[in-house]
């Protein structure tokens, strides 16, 4: 759930600041881009160099760099973040946050942040229990800030009780669980196919098409960002997924893709067949390289199994099946015929007649047609934006 997220970590002056190193490491390991902002006092507990090395980003703790006079823009930092996490959050900083007092870069960034703000308090037992601290926490919660409760254990003073900052592993788990709650495709399994297939002629030659896999990979990334458990079946392509959570299965031929789809379709809530699967494959595959002898050379081809039609016959009630139609003529009629013949819930139509659409481009222009023949026409967009539009419709179909 943290993959690809911009996480702004605020570190306050507390002995618990030593845990910030482990916290940064865990956030980076989870796939987040981490930027650290420290209060001046926190640098007495852990060095900016340590956190900069672990985060692979500069660490900010002053309004400007004295040696150059360059301003550390708190507004830009606040806008950059998808999540702001203040851990450890000291009693002093929480009081400033609650009252709107801005006397350091961290509190300035806090007031500029437009994203969800999480705070993990760290302090001694009596400070934690004090009415002023509890009032400040309630005030922060009323602002919509999210408390990560402290643990119970040995404190720096030697006392035992509440006030100990949650462990880094607990904080990361809390963030992941909280983010996951608000995503529309949590606990939904979505199968996506992408790229071309290669149909072997001999050990060195094959029949294929110009599909790059860009559209299918964009869809897989968007679905993962929405909380889905994504299985991506990919033909030969150089594309890479943005999210480590995506389970990628590499295949070569149409037959390989069919087998992989059948292995996972039954347990999927939705399936988006974006791959450009070969319609024909050689009847005989030579086991040695075919030598160039004759002026003419014929290859006998046979039809491959229609994967989309096969899945359409197996589709259960409530399962969503999406196909693609790349057309050059009678585009809409052909797409609707495919939608009906293959028992689809949605078809994504694109035309090679539209400039900027089709294979290899970073853009696409699509029309979505559902099984009630409701039609939505979109302008030319990046494939990332097209993936978002398709996923909005898929979510509607899943929730019907």
Q: Give the pLDDT score at 107.
A: 95
Domain residue extents for the chain: 6-181, 189-398
Please give the C-alpha separations between residue 225 and each of 179, 387, 388, in angstroms, as whole numbers.
10, 11, 10
Residue 192 scores a pLDDT above 90: yes
Q: Give the pLDDT score at 201.
A: 96
Residue 326 scores a pLDDT above 90: no
Residue 351 scores a pLDDT above 80: no
Better pLDDT: 162 or 397: 397
Q: Give the pLDDT score at 140.
A: 97
Which is nearest to 15 in space by CA: 125, 155, 118, 119?
A: 155
Q: How confident is the model at residue 29 (pLDDT cuts 50, 70, 90)?
A: very high
- Is 289 annotated to bind a ligand? Reply is yes
Mean pLDDT of 191-202: 97
- By DSSP bridging, strand 6-11 and strand 33-38 are parallel
The least confident of 117-121, 134-138, 180-184 is 180-184
Q: Give the pLDDT score at 72.
A: 76
- Is 279 annotated to bind a ligand? Reply is yes
Contact (CB, 8 A) for 137 and 147: yes
Contact (CB, 8 A) for 87 and 20: yes
Residue 349 scores a pLDDT above 90: yes
Residue 65 scores a pLDDT above 80: no
Q: How confident is the model at residue 89 (pLDDT cuts 50, 70, 90)?
A: very high
Total-model pTM: 0.76
Angle value at C-alpha 199, between 196 and 201, nearest 5 degrees = 145
Q: Give the pLDDT score at 68.
A: 65
What is the sign, positive or negative, of the torsion defined by CA atoms of 139, 140, 146, 150? negative
Q: Give the pLDDT score at 377.
A: 94
d(CA 255, CA 304): 7
Q: Give the pLDDT score at 230.
A: 97
Percent of the chain scored above 90 by pLDDT?
78
- By DSSP bridging, strand 280-282 and strand 301-303 are antiparallel
Q: Give the pLDDT score at 76.
A: 86
The least confident of 201-210, 253-262, 312-321, 353-362 is 353-362
Cα first-last separation, the chain: 25
Residue 153 scores a pLDDT above 80: no
> What region, left, alpha or beta, does residue 394 occupy, with left being phi > 0 and alpha being psi -120 to 50 degrees?
alpha
**284 φ/ψ angles, rounded to the nearest 5 degrees:** -125, 130
Contact (CB, 8 A) for 235 and 255: no
Q: Give the pLDDT score at 152.
A: 82
Q: Which residues are catalytic?
A: 209
Q: Give the pLDDT score at 358.
A: 65
Structural fold of domain 6-181: Rossmann fold (3.40.50)
Mean pLDDT of 174-196: 92
Q: Give the pLDDT score at 69.
A: 66
Q: Give the pLDDT score at 120.
A: 97
Q: What is the CATH number of domain 189-398?
A: 3.40.50.10300
Mean pLDDT of 250-270: 97
Mean pLDDT of 349-377: 85
Report how far Cα 229 is from the mean position of its chain's Cα atoms: 11
């Amino acid at each position: 759930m943290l993959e690809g997220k911009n996480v702004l970590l605020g570190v306050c002056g507390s002995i618990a600041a030593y845990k910030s190193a482990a916290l940064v490491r865990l956030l980076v390991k989870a796939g987040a881009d981490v930027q650290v902002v420290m209060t001046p006092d926190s640098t007495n507990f852990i060095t900016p160099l340590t956190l900069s090395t672990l985060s692979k980003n500069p660490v900010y703790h002053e309004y400007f760099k004295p040696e150059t006079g360059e301003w550390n823009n708190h507004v830009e930092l606040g806008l950059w973040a998808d999540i702001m996490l203040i851990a450890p959050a000291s009693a002093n900083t929480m009081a400033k946050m609650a009252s709107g007092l801005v006397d350091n870069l961290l509190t300035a960034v806090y007031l500029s942040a437009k994203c969800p703000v999480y705070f993990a308090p760290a302090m001694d037992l009596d400070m934690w229990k004090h009415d002023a601290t509890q009032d400040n926490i309630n005030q922060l919660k009323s602002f919509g800030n999210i408390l990560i409760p402290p643990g119970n254990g040995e404190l720096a003073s030697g006392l035992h009780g509440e006030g100990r900052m949650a462990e880094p592993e607990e904080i990361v788990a809390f963030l992941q669980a909280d983010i996951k709650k608000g995503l529309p495709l949590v606990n939904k399994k979505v199968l996506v196919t992408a790229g071309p297939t290669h149909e072997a002629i001999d050990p060195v030659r094959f029949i294929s098409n110009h599909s790059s896999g860009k559209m299918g990979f964009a869809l897989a990334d968007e679905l993962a960002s929405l909380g889905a458990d994504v299985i991506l079946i990919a033909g030969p392509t150089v594309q890479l997924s943005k999210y480590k959570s995506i389970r990628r299965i590499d295949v070569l031929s149409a037959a390989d893709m069919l087998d992989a789809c059948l292995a996972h379709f039954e347990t999927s809530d939705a399936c988006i067949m974006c791959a450009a699967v070969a319609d024909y494959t050689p009847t005989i595959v030579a086991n040695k390289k075919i030598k160039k002898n004759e002026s003419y050379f014929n290859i006998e081809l046979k039809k491959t199994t229609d994967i989309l039609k096969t899945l359409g016959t197996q589709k259960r009630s409530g399962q969503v099946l999406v196909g693609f139609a790349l057309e050059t003529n009678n585009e809409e009629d052909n797409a609707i015929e495919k939608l009906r013949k293959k028992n689809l819930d949605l078809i994504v139509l694109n035309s090679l007649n539209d400039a900027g659409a089709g294979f290899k481009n970073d853009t696409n222009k699509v029309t979505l047609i559902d099984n009630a023949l409701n039609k939505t026409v979109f302008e030319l967009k990046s494939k990332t934006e097209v993936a978002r539009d398709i996923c909005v419709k898929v979510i509607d179909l899943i929730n019907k």
